[in-house]
Structure 1
């Protein structure tokens, strides 16, 4: 081959090429970012619109519907989901994967801009934003100190946040919890009514008085003097003394005479707690593409330095640290990669029995891996679980090409050729076969890189990385390996006695005995082809029957030493009641010894009747109980003791920032909400019988609300519009930030509203005064005030009302089994016209995964066939080789059954890897048989010669792969739940496929040859034939 011949003639040039690969690879490695997963992108755009004072019904009709209508026509929209809540409407627009996020954001922004004139005039302008998973916090701290909550919050805002925000790689510093200062003007309704002023008029008065305005300029000779009217409040006392109205006698009435002005704190709608104590939470978001580990280290160092400077017992307790998870995962994969590489080299030494040759072949391993880092850097990849996993899985493959080339060169050396000729001729002998086997591997992994859906997002870097690695190993086997063999190999002189260690002699005798035993078994198999075929079919049927018990899931749940507890109280519950219930849960959870910290958010997303708890445990290596067992213990403590509370326990999201991603999520969609709720309850009843837990119907039942229905006729008599009435009521009850108090660089909101006792009961609301062009009137003069039930949240799925039913899986249950039974049960009673069931969450992702892998398997099958047909110049021999594929599947599935794993995303990747591996082994076997056919042997004779000869490289490849996977299969470190099924499927598949390939493929090959019509007669002995990849059997070489 030209490439190998040039490498042999120019050794320095070849060495420099290899060194260049290593140098570039090391440079790339140094610059590669480190993350847990690849940077996946989901084209999702969110539109938020605040409409203060509006209920869910008004939000639905006046805000959500116009926005949904506007964005529905955008090209590429996959799903529109919306939430109508009190005061705010949210539209989530999901685009098909592959849509450019920037384009999607701009399209949504354009359509929303066109719809703004259809929204209420007093609604805020819609805010369009993108969902960016990289915006999920990489670090979360609970901060405490010996100071008030308000002082601590101000310290974080003024000193800690600026210091962290300027660090390289930090995109955002978020602070939640704690108290924020607010100047509160609480109006006494009776006193205000006595002087004839309403809360809205008070607010307007404060706003117009708190101004500094320019009044122009004065020309004083050659100088200019700016004139400013200074009216801003300089203190709270200034605000208290503000003249606000006149009494009946004409005397000035100051603000403090009708209202209490307090320098206080803003009302909370959410609160954070750490271990049953109020906390202020600090979250760090990194910039896209920056190194998570280095950013985290910089933040930790800065906080450690600031602690002593701040003093006062300042302490930042680390709750969530993505960098630790990344370190643990990458450490486990690096260990597996290094151990797998060493084991592969040891296995090759045991088979080659040539330390020098093994060393030459082993150089392909580090060169290929390091060279791949440079390509990863050029492509913008990172060191993450998927890219490192691809390299660790490829360890057994990266050395194969060099070993096959080296073995062919050794054969030439043993025939007496000089090293230069042996290196050139040996590489030429096997060049096409090595090229075919490598291209077969690439044909397997390229479809993986371009799978659709969320699975494709994860595995693109996996498929490309492993393909690049095996191509670099092919290049090394055609350049560095022949060059080193030509320079450092020794030729066997005629009659030379070869001395070797006793261990090598024992191994050689064992390998020779194995080859002889295999030759006898192969002879029996070829004499009893029908019996062999029958036994194979029987074994396949029994194996697939046993594997039918195998559960199917999307991704194996990982033990991250955390669990999530969600509490949901009745919708009418307030923040204080929910906080009290969360405190009860914290006390119960602390009874579990393995739990170390409990971080609670009460009122997530403004839903004050909900609480979300992140429960941290000791590391998995420090406890004997699995995280699943701890979840069951927590459930047993919480469910009986927390009354009127819906409780859900789950694992933390696989990808932080992805949000709630329930295993089971069923959306019931239809026009009538009552019927939708009925169908949702039916689905929930089915789910409770199918191996699930924490079944919940997110029906958002109606909650009591005080409705003020305007009498339009009476309001018209007073020239009062419904909007004006609503705005005055909102200001009186909820309050309005009418101005800000500026003190130096600090700005504090001034909120005006009625005092608490004047807005605490429906009766007091009825007594509110509203201003009209015809004077002051009581609310009941223009409206009816009554207690009624109204929706708390209204959800839409593709512009239809919907109710979601969600649940977790019971311990040991498989998602695929539950989903299949659920769909069958729902189908037994079809929904009425206009109603539909939409499957979401991990159920939907599992279906997408199955479709994606089905496409990948199909394309890999086609590509492998095309490569093999081109290599053998035959349409039939690729089928002979590919019969080994189902033989590998048997072992993979049985391995998962025996080890009690489900068929997950990781296991499927192991199966795809097997497709390339078993094809490679079959190529070696069939290529040798074809050579002997060309020399004139019969089919059985050709197989009996090729089989024992190809046994050693086949066993060597398979053993290197299987043993290299052992650390990953038995590992218990962080992320092992994802990696272990992959390794187990590979090990099981390698064992069965190797055994069956050596016996079944020859039978199929013989049958195909004998059934061929018009095959050319064998050539006579001595007829020239194509170069052989075969070398003499082991006992011939030892002679």
Structure 2
């Protein structure tokens, strides 16, 4: 069937052309990159920076304003949690009770559908038994989103015509605009789940009652409450028909202004009305705040846009930006005192678009460079321009087919998914190389002058089985990744899909599209001389035009044209012309690589980068050429000294296993997001003003670092169920500048410099870049104004394609880690805890998975909060001594640290006055805490009406004692007569899991240590303290380590079962190919050797001496980003990818060895070895080509520095190292094959 399909397409080339056109057009339409498709519609794959690996979670959020965490826990959280535990599919329930609200996180099993789980929760909430919760408390389901859905944060700021920040807007005014205009406008954008507000002041109508006047008029608080409630109401009274016209009747009674409320009647005696203004002061004022927003030291108002679950984040952000553009023209403006106009503007301070675009840009660049470098290898090693064009065309078409499959199967494009294509490029081209090499060989051996269709078909049919087997082993090797569960499954299953789709696409293109095109391209034609002259002349003309317009590659076209003319004039032979064209093409690709890759850095000249790229590409190919030239000699030696030779791969395997056992373990290398999230905490007793002061100090300190672009800090929570932060928790979103100034497409941009290398600004002033080595001593420059380089913006510089890149960072700042160290240095404030190094997305994922704000921690469970805290503090002291733990990052929750003022009511005293608990509590609630009784309706705006005592009568405990409680028959009684007021420390937040109270001890690891190793060290130290009696675990208390490392342990457990199973399946495929256990085992040795090679490369990366020298001033360890590599899931995925390709060379070699022995049937040891050498010599070229493409294609990945490279590099290292060492299998398989045949010969003779 396979061969019939191949033959059909060879004979019907138009079908192949139509298929190619379909794949290309459809793929371009679905491509996730921002390509200009012209008239083609765009339907791109959904795009995000990283997969959502958080738990399958829903939130039940319940507000109960003014209530303490203990009241919330006892009356809401605990009863609700026990009711929700019975929902089907629930894995665990986490909850937190804080001041004024309860958050319950229901974690479902992975296979439970997101919206199905929401419907089950709603069913349960609607059927709660009466009396389970206090009156007026209504639990609500949180937004249909996850914490990772927070994709766009912004502030509202006044800006002048030049975009400069202006004043003139008060915080209450900004908050009203945010709450009633901006919020609802952005909520209407497609894909938005909610928009939550933060910062500023929420306006309230405040009625501050005067207790003296109330006693004078004998009015109780309950009467004031009743009066306020009854003074704000509109009614409808049906209709009235007048003169046959129908009129709708409305009774107007809504409060529109302060005077409406002031004139509300409280009571009337003897025809005299007592109004609210007679006993109270009515004003506008701010509502109680539990969240603050600060931008670089100034209070701000803003919001956060949350994307709906399953929505395309990139598309949602674009929809939001469209709404902002629509909304901007309608936002208010005002004229300032200095005559400037201040226009209210929505200014983003966290926009995931940049991270997504830069991540895609990194992958786009890596794929482009991989394709270029693969084309170079093919041109040089195949040494046939037509064949090189055919094979090179395979890659982009196959990549476009992957985009089609991603769209069809709803696989999002992100750093991990697209990395599957990046690490598959080398393998994808292998099938084309093997096929084309065999076609060329058959054409050379076509002595019978068979038709080209027949020659190509025979060549394809001969290797189709081997190609199918090689691809199938690679695809099968990724089965373990598909079986991963939890976070690691969500992270890497998309990668397994894209790699499988890429290999399948390359197989389809190689077997069904390359043969018909090969039959066309390789067919000999008699081209008229006139046409050839015209063609070559056109090449020269186009080349010259390209040079005139500044495209150096025009030289290549000129060279092709000149060589063509020389060939036509018979000045050089056609064979020599072909060789010249091949080298010209190779040089062109080297030039493109040097221009776009720039491995030595964009600040180095194109010439230096060209030399380096040429040396590394031609150098590695030179090594492969030497390998090929000396292959027969080495093979003959190995066949004569089998035991001595085989000791080498054996030693490599043993060494590799030893390295594996001593390599550190972690879950995942972190993705560089281009921003940090600083999350320290203040002391639990700190109030709103103190937290505001500290937050502003933190923001101003961070903003003073030259590399920081913006810093916006948040204290407390946004108005969202997704943000349960207490007031003492800070979240400072820190955006740092890119290393080099970028253009609007997030690509490095060149700017004009003068002849001395100084940057020239639009105003004529000059800038010395401190990162350059230019020394300026001329008097001309001394007299000039030299601008500070760290205050320069892109708008001030002059774009120039022939200029230089402008570096934003100081010379001593070499990486984002250095910027973080600067942040840590300036944020050491008294009363503020340290914070682990976190990033926005990373933090949301960690909090979703573990409930903590750190990737590592200990969860302490118990029944008593004080015991949990005390034990946690003991663990904190021990953890600081553990090897690999960052001492300053260890912090145990101070659970019972919030000051409480308790009003302890004496029931005996109440009985004397005939007062109930309810009456006293209502007085306390209204007079001290205030009570929102109604809501004004002012157009689209709604404001609460609160009744309360004036601040001066409730500012301290002594004032509280003087609050009067009305007595039904008698004079009011002061609270001091009814209750005792005392201080006590209580919980700031009460956390629980499956109804058990919990506390956390957070910690972080030192650089250079692996997560799992640090946790194991800490576990061992704690156990040692317990065994020695230095630490006693109280009864009812238990602890366990938690964090992202658990994902690594789970993944390791899964892989320990599934990887052997996949290897067994690979072995079975090999067996079905060769029908021989012995031959299959020989090929299988390639996996063991490559496996060891991968670990050898990991070991080399961690050795300071390896490649520790400079090339043109660039240290090669820095160039290839060499540092200690821990054994993460990403590395294991790299090894799994390696398993699939490690057998490819062995399959090709063993196939031809079998065919050679079937043809030759040697009868002596000498003939056996000769046959082995003959087979090896004929198959060494395609094997080296496939290995070279795999190795060289990974070089751009290994040197990449953009967003996402942190994840791509660990996945590429095993394949790079494994395939380098796997070259030895080109000797191992022939040697083992020869040994087997020689042993069989001996048995036959005997």
TM value normalised by structure 1: 0.90
Structure 1 residues 517 and 865, CA gap change in structure 2 (3 angstroms)? same
Q: Which residue is equivalent to 1:1022?
A: none
Indicate the SS of the match to 2:1076: coil
Residues 13-72 of structure 1 show CA distances to partners (whole Å, capped at 9, x for unaligned) of: 222223222232233333123322346573112222233454333333332222222222
- Which residue of 40, 43, 56 maps to 1:31? 43
What's the secondary structure of 1:837's corresponding residue? strand
| Equivalent in the alignment of 1:414 | 444
Residue from 57, 67, 72 that aligns with 2:80: 67
Equivalent residue, structure 2, for 1:447: 480
Q: Specify the alignment match of 2:155 in structure 1.
A: 142
Aligned pair in 2 of structure 1 residues 104, 509: CA closer, same or farther (>3 Å)?
Answer: closer
SS in 1 for 2:156: strand
Give the Cα separation in 1 of the matches to 2:149 and 2:246: 53
CA contact (8 A) 2:961 2:976 kept: yes
Over 3 Å counting, the alpha-carbon distance change for 1:134 and 1:571 in structure 2 is: closer
The equivalent of 1:691 in structure 2 is 884
- The answer to whether structure 1 residue 541 and structure 2 residue 654 are counterparts is yes
1:578 aligns with 2:671: no
Corresponding residue number in structure 2 for 1:628? 817
State the match for 2:306 in structure 1: 285
Task: Give the superposition deviation at 1:304.
Answer: 6.1
Q: Which residue of 1 aligns with 2:735?
A: 616
The CA deviation at 1:171 is 4.7
Query: 2:23 is matched with which residue?
Result: 21
- Change in Cα spacing, 1:346 to 1:838, as seen in structure 2 (3 Å) is same
Aligned to 2:232: 210
Map of 1:918 onto structure 2? 1142
User: For each residue in 1:863-888, what CA deviation from the matched residue of structure 2 results, as whole angstroms up to 9, or x when unmatched?
Assistant: 31232222222344333322222322
Q: CA deviation at 1:412?
A: 1.8
Provide the rounded CA distance (Å) in 2 between the counterparts of 1:1013 and 1:732. 105
- How has the CA–CA distance of structure 1 residues 393 and 668 changed in structure 2, closer, same or farther, with 3 Å as cutoff? same
TM-aligned CA distance change 1:778 to 1:214, over 3 Å: farther
Residue 926 of structure 2: which of 722, 731, 735 is its match? 731
- What secondary structure sits across from 1:568 in the alignment? coil
Report the 3-state secondary structure (helix = DSSP H, G, I; strand = E; otherwise coil) of the residue aligned with 2:714. strand
Distance 1:498 1:882 in 2: 44
Residue pair 2:295, 2:699 contacting (<8 A) in 1 also: no
CA contact (8 A) 1:46 1:131 kept: no
Aligned to 1:893: 1095
Q: Deviations over 1:437-456 (max 9, x none)?
A: 11111112243234211111
- 268-277 or 908-917, which deviates more: 908-917
With over 3 angstroms needed to count, the CA separation of the structure-2 counterparts of 1:31 and 1:716, relative to structure 1, is farther
Partner of 2:364: 334
Aligned residues: 1010
For 2:706, what is the secondary structure of its paired residue? Answer: coil
Q: Which residue of 2 aligns with 1:78?
A: 91
Q: 1:631·1:649 contact (CA, 8 Å) conserved in 2?
A: no
Specify which of 748, 757, 760 is matched with residue 943 of structure 2: 748
CA shift for structure 1 position 433: 0.8
Tell me if the contact between 2:204 and 2:943 (Cα under 8 Å) persists in the aligned partners. yes
Q: CA distance change for structure 1 residues 1009 and 314 in 2, over 3 Å: closer, same or farther? A: farther
Looking at structure 2, the residues matched to 434 and 256 of structure 1 have their Cα atoms a distance apart, in angstroms, of 91
1:804 and 2:806 correspond:
no
Task: Show the counterpart of 2:856.
Answer: 664
Alignment of 1:323-722 (within 5 A): 323-416=353-446, 417=448, 418=450, 419-489=452-522, 499-500=575-576, 514-546=627-659, 550-604=663-717, 605=724, 607-621=726-740, 622-623=808-809, 624-639=813-828, 642-655=829-842, 657-658=844-845, 660=847, 662-689=854-881, 690-693=883-886, 694-715=889-910, 721-722=916-917
1:274 paired residue among 290, 295, 305: 295
- The CA distance in 2 between the partners of 1:796 and 1:1010, in whole Å, is 71
Q: CA deviation at 1:752?
A: 1.0
In structure 2, the CA distance between the partners of 1:116 and 1:920, relative to structure 1 (3 Å rule), is farther
1:1035 maps to which residue? none
Give distance in 2, aligned partners of 1:718 and 1:584. 52
Q: How far apart, in 2, do the equivalents of 1:892 and 1:841 lie? A: 28
Partner SS for 1:678: helix
CA contact under 8 A between 2:93 and 2:107: conserved in structure 1?
A: yes
Give the deviation of 1:151 after TM superposition. 2.3
Deviations 1:924-961 (A, max 9, x none): 12222222333324664553333232222221111111
Equivalent of residue 779 in structure 1, options 970, 975, 981: 975
Tell me, yes or no, if the aligned pair for 2:665 and 2:1011 is still in contact at 8 Å.
Answer: yes
Deviation larger for 291-300 or 13-22: 291-300
Of stretches 339-348 and 101-110 in structure 1, the one that deviates more from structure 2 is 101-110
Distance (whole Å) between structure 2 residues aligned to residue 148 and residue 512 of structure 1: 74
Structure 1 alignment gaps of length 5 or more: 1019-1039
Aligned partners of 1:413 and 1:490 also within 8 Å: no
**CA shift in 2, pair 1:633/1:513, >3 Å:** closer
2:689 aligned counterpart, secondary structure: helix
Residue 6 in structure 1 maps to residue 229 in structure 2: no
User: Deviation at 1:769?
Assistant: 2.9
Counterpart contact for 1:396–1:961, Cα < 8 Å: yes
**Deviation readout 1:907-926 (Å, 9 max, x if unpaired):** 32222211111121221122
**Does the alignment pair 1:177 with 2:207?**
no
Q: Match for residue 1031 of structure 1?
A: none
| Kept after mapping to 1: 8 A contact 2:675/2:840 | no
Over 3 Å counting, the alpha-carbon distance change for 1:142 and 1:856 in structure 2 is farther
> SS of 1:383's equivalent?
coil
CA 1:8–1:712: 2 relative to 1, 3 Å: same
TM-score, structure 2 as length reference:
0.76
Contact 1:968/1:983 (8 A) holds in 2: yes
Distance 1:264 1:89, change over 3 A: closer
Tell me the CA shift for residue 207 of structure 1. Answer: 0.3
Structure 2 residue corresponding to 1:194, chosen from 216, 227, 232:
216
CA contact (8 A) 1:600 1:613 kept: yes
SS of the residue aligned with 2:87? coil
Report if aligned partners of 1:885, 1:919 keep a CA contact under 8 Å in 2. yes
Closer/same/farther in 2, CA of residues 505 and 182 from structure 1, 3 Å limit: closer
Counterpart of 2:1045? 843
Report if the CA contact (8 A) 1:137-1:284 is conserved: yes
Offset at residue 491 of structure 1 (A): 8.1
Return the offset for 1:405.
1.7
Partner of 1:880: 1082
The counterpart of 1:961, out of the listed 1182, 1185, 1190, is 1190
- 1:1029 maps to what in 2? none
SS of residue in 2 equivalent to 1:35:
coil
Contact 1:43 1:131 in 2 (8 A): no
3-state DSSP of counterpart to 2:1179: helix
For 1:1037, the equivalent position in structure 2 comes to none
* Structure 2 residue 1168 is matched with structure 1 residue 975: no
What does residue 1227 of structure 2 align with?
A: 999
CA RMSD of aligned residues (A): 3.2
Give the gaps of 5 or more residues in structure 2.
Answer: 32-41, 159-167, 334-341, 526-572, 584-617, 718-723, 741-807, 848-852, 1028-1032, 1102-1121
Query: For residues 300 and 222 of structure 1, what CA distance do their matches in structure 2 show?
Result: 51
Q: Secondary structure at the match of 2:133?
A: coil
Confirm or deny: 8 A CA contact 1:173 1:282 kept in the other structure: yes
How far off is 1:524 after superposition?
A: 2.2
Instruction: Tell me the residue number matched to 1:1028.
Output: none
